[in-house]
Structure 1
Amino acid sequence: MADPATYRPKPGEIPTSPGVYKFRDPHSRVIYVGKAKNLRSRLTSYFQDLANLHVRTQTMVTTAASVEWTTVATEVEALQLEYTWIKQFEPRFNVKYRDDKSYPSLAVTVGEEFPRAQVMRGPKRPGVRYFGPYSHAWAIRETLDSLLRVFPIRTCSSGVFKRAAQTGRPCLLGYIGKCSAPCVGRVSAEEHREIVDDFVSFMAGRTDRYIRGLEEEMKEAAKELEFEKAARLRDDLQALKQSLEKNAVVLGDGTDADVIALSEDPLEAAVQVFHVRGGRIRGQRGWVVDRVEDVDTAGLVEHFMQQLYGSEQGEPGIDTETVPREILVPELPGSVEAITEWLSARRGAKVEVRIPKRGDKAALMETVAQNAKQALALHKTRRASDLTTRSVALQELADAIGMDQAPLRIECYDISHLQGTNVVASMVVFEDGLPRKSEYRRFTIKGSDENGATNDDVRNMHEVITRRFKAFLKEQEEEKLIDATIGDRKKFSYPPQLVVVDGGQPQVAAAARALADLEISDVTLVGLAKRLEEVWLPDEDDPVLLPRSSEGLYMLQRVRDEAHRFGIAFHRQKRSKSMVASALDDVPGLGEVRRKALLAHFGTLRKLRAAQVAEIAEVPGIGPATARQIHSALAELPVSRAVNAATGEILDGGESRNGPDEE
């Protein structure tokens, strides 16, 4: 635990202008980012008597080892820079809002020549117009099915569209009038684009003119005795009204607003947002957040608005209606003027942020707040046991292997190969008991023989640990010469508190030698042997046996199994490529370029072996005669199967997962 006085800057060194500041830990990792209208006033507040600070702020300042700042011209610039750094560094003491589920949206691919309407999840893509999100995908499909009578736009996949264009026959929707069938030329690209534009305009809330237009057309058709046309328009009108009824009318003045409400407790908060467009609820979303920093309701609202509207800043294909004209909040953020100016710049028009006091909007705010309250209660029910279990597991693990505190970062290493060929290693990372997949790494083992084989798992483990920590030391040395604020941190910059190797006493001893050779002594090392799930420590003759019901043992097993999975996937990828190459070496006239083309076309050796001669001949550069030779060569290739020596398990496709006492 660091003493904040050791890195406290002199008051005269800190400017009084607006700016953004970063606290870093002893490894130069950014752990907190904040902004201030007056940097001197704000930073000085962190270095008062610890007893006067909130417990979360105490933890942050005692974890930190340095503080730095960047001045900007205005508070709006500080707001933008703060968001950019939070997104870049992901500081552990900053509030992070997590979606409580993956919500589907109705998406229209307006960037394509023939735009398509479909259900989409995940991050927003350029050139796509989104509506929603919705609570359920079936709600989108029901709405879309109703609207296709009036707006017969394309909904088929690219494959179906291409096949219809080739055969000259549209799909079923084209025959029943729910698609204008641009694939077979019933409408031109320009005419289909007009239908899409009308559909997008209707979904954006401009519904009245379509309703009135259809009513007038229906009356005119009836007046001209065109009763079939009038009946069709009547059905279209009913379809539109039916789709509108699915969205509750909440406000009568065509309001374009997002309504934000929170429910909080001392540890967590839940946020709910209702998206109101054209006076109707068009979508709803929910987030949850751990209150890792000392922040009040106004601060939570400010952070949430940054993340909700800032994540799309500068992305192509995002329409301006992402930011509505009005944002209703339970409490105004402290820098409401800066937030309003920033949002107005994002929208390209004036945005108002306010608290609803009375009337329909205040009533809607109460409804959203009730949803947030229920969401927090449900989240706590689901998550409480998980949070408690992870904390217990990490503490049990620390106690069992003699660590002073629970490990924040755990790295696990595993070696994978098939009878000594295509040897690879995997490194997985768990932080706070959860996988951090962005920091997983893969290694191709060096020093193998001319056939790419090596059976020495102990030597392999020594090599991997050496390479990983040499890279760490090198990058630490580089950061002393270069300002660490320039660019992203490199991939090995963060050391673990605990290293787990998949193996027993020999593998642990090899990893310990690698750390000792590099003079690294502040990393705890253990090995997990698969046969009896023993935990081995360096220089110990007997393993640590954790109870089978131990949460600490379960955590180690999760980490080890994830390393197995990640390593096997990499091994399978390398083995598939090498087997294709070796199997085709003797085929006359088949060089490296065409071998790569085969692998690119079929993806795996298994699919290539299953292909017929005609299918192989479809690959560019492969003729019928060569295709027959390839088919014959692959038919003679034996199917290899590997067995896990510890469990007797047959590993599909021949992947061998070398455990502690295996081979």
Structure 2
Amino acid sequence: MADPSSYRPRPGDIPDSPGVYRFRDEHRRVIYVGKAKSLRQRLANYFQDLAGLHPRTRSMVTTAASVEWTVVSTEVEALQLEYSWIKEYDPRFNVKYRDDKSYPYLAVTMNEQYPRVQVMRGHKKKGVRYFGPYAHAWAIRDTVDLLLRVFPVRTCSTGVFKNARRTGRPCLLGYIGKCSAPCVGRISDEDHLELAEEFCDFMTGRTGTYLRRLEKQMAQAAEELEYERAARLRDDIEALKKAMEKNAVVLADATDADLIAVAEDELEAAVQIFHVRGGRVRGQRGWVTDKVEEITTGALVEHALQQLYGEETGDAVPKEVLVPALPDPVEPVQEWLTVRRGSNVSLRIPQRGDKKALMETVQRNALQALALHKTKRASDLTTRSRALEEIADALDLDSAPLRIECYDISHLQGDDVVASMVVFEDGLQRKSEYRRFQIKGFRGQDDVRSMHEVITRRFRRYLAEKEKTGEWADGEPGLTNGHTNGATGDGSATSDGSANGDTNGLISSLTEDDGRPKRFAYPPQLVVVDGGQPQVAAAQRALDELGIDDIAVCGLAKRLEEVWLPGEDDPVILPRTSEGLYLLQRVRDEAHRFAITYQRSKRAKRIRSSPLDDVPGLGETRKQALIKHFGSVKKLRAATIDQICEVPGIGRKTAETIALALARTAPAAPAVNTATGEIMEDGAPETTAGTPGEPVPTGAPDERRGQER
């Protein structure tokens, strides 16, 4: 591991101008390429205190042994040079998109004397026109088969073409009219080239010209009583229309655009691209990448644009590119795209209308692609085995943790505190053994105390069952055929996800009718908690208090994906591409999802039972307005009628109705002073743990971070 200070250049030696820099390792291999508007300011960020750097950046600068740079005149030149060097050196620490599969293209070899229409994969060749990519090769062949009636371009291989020229006899397509047979001279080189160009024009979306021309020729043939020719033209028109129907119209006004969507998590990102030409989706492709560096969504979009258009020119770069986030800064990227196309290119985020709706479709495809990638990765037996071995090595365990339990705490500003327990065996989910807990001993945003309580409750019952039934509970998971249908404590989830059982923290009987143990009775080899040092310490303290010393504990901190161990001042940093880190992240995210789901269901029940539900004529909008204005039902109940009338949309008659309804549902029957309008409460104040009717924030869980977790 190199010390960055050993190769740090003096600040005065670094130019304060745009450029591209390269970090090299001790063997002179380029491990990272980056660009900057100011090389001096950008490189200074890498040579800070290592503790202040992101773990991925820290890994890069300690792997490197030298840094060098090249000055350019503009940011556009820096962008182009960065792309060229990434393609040349393939640096290990740069984001590299990899195709989730090899996509086929419809290609027209315009660089040949007799252009050929064919299916092509792999790298693009100079002088070849490409259309697509398509999801399946058979979709290309179906389209080509329809278009050959109107554009009978050569489709045969070089060997077949030479053999036909040698014998003077065309292939079958030449006899049935789906090839103009340039091999035997039925059409000249120039005419065949023009035919191929018309085929390309049609594929780029200029369909109206050819349809109108064929319709005019058909009408003219009918007037001249050439009915056979008119019928043939009619069939050609139908063939073209059928080929066009394969791509539904998604954008009006014959729009040419590419739509790019990104789905990402802390470890990986999936990119999906829809190619729209002439208002129709002409192709789709997707990439998946490991996020080997700290990177924003805008930076991911910039890298995708580089890979997508780095070797394209002219019409291959559309007039409009729609993205979920703009690169920072956006001007050099937009100028670079304009140079590639030769005319202005609009790079923007769609805000409304059909383009925004289509972007949402592309985003759903990106999310599905990322989920499918994760599913394939998780279902591979070899990968799972390697992940478990990596976890065992990193945590210094005696053996691979075949059973992992993960715990997470969720609450809304200290109310409705719940916890989840998810189980992974052999690297796979065991949803029938998930459990969920209600934390009723206290209120507040004390995740540490909550974690201690949950771990104590779960393993106290395990020890009780172990003492009751003997040593079978120490067996390895998977040795019995037991399952976990039946009631569980803590309001926990059964195999169908419903809640049952009591809320006293006790887990119901852990044995089947025939005396065999249920699988939930087995202890895990590893307990994972969602959090850092405090949560890990609380979990370890709970196990120590119970006298359990054969279960490992670790925590996964979400911000930097650090693995914390009890009593350690520094975290364990797993390699960025580690399958073990990927498995721990899946376990942690599943526990978070399960806890959030339970917490929301409890909150929804509490909101539905609000006294405001009994007020006639009071809709959800005005309920929320009342709660937002007063903060809680308790404060609303204490308000005067005049104060209730201050809420927008609430008149005096409605305010009186609300006051009377709340008076009927008060702990002690209050009286309303008709002279002053005050609500007189003689009863005791509310003492329930959590006030009904509190406002519910909207948005995704990540948008509420800090309020709900």
Place the TM-score, normalised by the shorter chain, in its bin. 0.5 to 0.7
Give the equivalent residue in structure 2 for 1:343.
Answer: 337
Give the equivalent residue in structure 1 for 2:316.
Answer: 322
CA shift, 1:121, in A, is 0.8
Give the equivalent residue in structure 2 for 1:113.
Answer: 113
Q: Larger C-alpha radius of gyration, 1 or 2? A: 2
- Residues 27-42 of structure 1 mapped to structure 2, 5 A cutoff: 27-42=27-42
Q: 3-state DSSP class of the match of 1:46?
A: coil
- Residues 42-121 of structure 1 mapped to structure 2, 5 A cutoff: 42-121=42-121
Rate the CA distance shift 1:116–1:96 in 2: closer, same or farther, 3 A.
Answer: same
- Residues 139-150 of structure 1 mapped to structure 2, 5 A cutoff: 139-150=139-150
Give the equivalent residue in structure 2 for 1:288.
Answer: 288
Q: 3-state DSSP class of the match of 1:357?
A: coil
* CA distance in structure 2 between the partners assigned to 1:153 and 1:57 by the alignment: 53
Letter in 1 for 2:98: R
* CA distance in structure 1 between the partners assigned to 2:64 and 2:190 by the alignment: 60
Q: Deviations over 1:1-44 (max 9, x none)?
A: 33323322232222211111122222222211111111121111
> What's the TM-score, normalizing by structure 1?
0.57
Say if 2:133 is the partner of 1:133: yes
Gaps of 5+ in 2: 397-578, 580-709
Letter in 2 for 1:243: A
Rate the CA distance shift 1:393–1:24 in 2: closer, same or farther, 3 A.
Answer: farther
* CA distance in structure 2 between the partners assigned to 1:97 and 1:239 by the alignment: 38
Q: Deviations over 1:86-115 (max 9, x none)?
A: 112211110000011111111111111111
* CA distance in structure 1 between the partners assigned to 2:254 and 2:262 by the alignment: 25
Say if 2:393 is the partner of 1:383: no
Q: 3-state DSSP class of the match of 2:119?
A: strand
Letter in 2 for 1:53: L
Q: 3-state DSSP class of the match of 2:45?
A: helix
Q: 3-state DSSP class of the match of 2:46?
A: helix
CA shift, 1:127, in A, is 2.3
* CA distance in structure 2 between the partners assigned to 1:240 and 1:91 by the alignment: 46
CA shift, 1:166, in A, is 2.0
CA shift, 1:122, in A, is 0.9
Rate the CA distance shift 1:390–1:307 in 2: closer, same or farther, 3 A.
Answer: farther
Give the equivalent residue in structure 2 for 1:525.
Answer: none
Q: 3-state DSSP class of the match of 2:91?
A: coil
Q: 3-state DSSP class of the match of 2:269?
A: strand
- Residues 497-516 of structure 1 mapped to structure 2, 5 A cutoff: none
Give the equivalent residue in structure 2 for 1:362.
Answer: 356
Letter in 2 for 1:268: E
- Residues 544-559 of structure 1 mapped to structure 2, 5 A cutoff: none
Letter in 2 for 1:325: K
* CA distance in structure 1 between the partners assigned to 2:388 and 2:80 by the alignment: 39
Q: 3-state DSSP class of the match of 2:126?
A: coil
CA shift, 1:265, in A, is 0.5
Q: 3-state DSSP class of the match of 1:332?
A: coil
Q: Deviations over 1:325-367 (max 9, x none)?
A: 1111100001211111111111111111111111111111111
Give the equivalent residue in structure 1 for 2:18.
Answer: 18
CA shift, 1:116, in A, is 1.0
Q: Deviations over 1:512-532 (max 9, x none)?
A: xxxxxxxxxxxxxxxxxxxxx
* CA distance in structure 1 between the partners assigned to 2:216 and 2:373 by the alignment: 50
Runs of 4 or more above 4 Å deviation: 385-400
Give the equivalent residue in structure 2 for 1:180.
Answer: 180
* CA distance in structure 1 between the partners assigned to 2:127 and 2:23 by the alignment: 38
* CA distance in structure 2 between the partners assigned to 1:399 and 1:95 by the alignment: 28
* CA distance in structure 2 between the partners assigned to 1:219 and 1:249 by the alignment: 27
CA shift, 1:290, in A, is 0.4
Letter in 1 for 2:373: H
Q: 3-state DSSP class of the match of 1:275?
A: strand
Letter in 2 for 1:333: P
Letter in 2 for 1:251: L
Letter in 2 for 1:170: P
Q: Deviations over 1:554-585 (max 9, x none)?
A: xxxxxxxxxxxxxxxxxxxxxxxxxxxxxxxx
Rate the CA distance shift 1:389–1:7 in 2: closer, same or farther, 3 A.
Answer: farther
CA shift, 1:145, in A, is 0.4
Rate the CA distance shift 1:392–1:26 in 2: closer, same or farther, 3 A.
Answer: farther
* CA distance in structure 2 between the partners assigned to 1:13 and 1:192 by the alignment: 60
* CA distance in structure 2 between the partners assigned to 1:339 and 1:59 by the alignment: 28
Q: 3-state DSSP class of the match of 1:47?
A: coil
Give the equivalent residue in structure 2 for 1:259.
Answer: 259
CA shift, 1:393, in A, is 6.9
* CA distance in structure 2 between the partners assigned to 1:238 and 1:328 by the alignment: 33
* CA distance in structure 1 between the partners assigned to 2:394 and 2:266 by the alignment: 27
- Residues 340-489 of structure 1 mapped to structure 2, 5 A cutoff: 340-384=334-378, 385=380, 388-389=384-385
CA shift, 1:126, in A, is 2.1
Q: 3-state DSSP class of the match of 1:262?
A: strand
Give the equivalent residue in structure 2 for 1:302.
Answer: 302
CA shift, 1:396, in A, is 9.2
* CA distance in structure 1 between the partners assigned to 2:217 and 2:290 by the alignment: 56
Rate the CA distance shift 1:391–1:83 in 2: closer, same or farther, 3 A.
Answer: farther
Rate the CA distance shift 1:362–1:399 in 2: closer, same or farther, 3 A.
Answer: closer
Q: 3-state DSSP class of the match of 1:174?
A: helix
* CA distance in structure 2 between the partners assigned to 1:249 and 1:173 by the alignment: 31
* CA distance in structure 2 between the partners assigned to 1:393 and 1:125 by the alignment: 44
Q: 3-state DSSP class of the match of 1:288?
A: strand
Q: 3-state DSSP class of the match of 2:249?
A: coil
Rate the CA distance shift 1:237–1:298 in 2: closer, same or farther, 3 A.
Answer: same
Q: Deviations over 1:602-652 (max 9, x none)?
A: xxxxxxxxxxxxxxxxxxxxxxxxxxxxxxxxxxxxxxxxxxxxxxxxxxx
Percentage of identical aligned residues = 69
* CA distance in structure 1 between the partners assigned to 2:162 and 2:172 by the alignment: 15
Q: What is the aligned residue count?
A: 396
Letter in 1 for 2:131: F
Q: Deviations over 1:138-196 (max 9, x none)?
A: 00000000011111111111111122222222211111111111112221222212211
CA shift, 1:388, in A, is 5.0
CA shift, 1:390, in A, is 5.1
Give the equivalent residue in structure 2 for 1:206.
Answer: 206
CA shift, 1:268, in A, is 0.3
Q: Which moved more, 1:24-33 or 1:335-344?
A: 24-33
> What's the TM-score, normalizing by structure 2?
0.54
* CA distance in structure 2 between the partners assigned to 1:89 and 1:191 by the alignment: 44
Give the equivalent residue in structure 2 for 1:316.
Answer: none
* CA distance in structure 2 between the partners assigned to 1:246 and 1:264 by the alignment: 31
Q: Deviations over 1:295-326 (max 9, x none)?
A: 1101111111112111x16xxxxx62221111
Letter in 2 for 1:14: I
Letter in 1 for 2:169: R
Give the equivalent residue in structure 1 for 2:416.
Answer: none
* CA distance in structure 2 between the partners assigned to 1:73 and 1:184 by the alignment: 55
Rate the CA distance shift 1:389–1:10 in 2: closer, same or farther, 3 A.
Answer: farther
* CA distance in structure 2 between the partners assigned to 1:391 and 1:71 by the alignment: 43
Q: 3-state DSSP class of the match of 1:379?
A: helix
Give the equivalent residue in structure 2 for 1:234.
Answer: 234
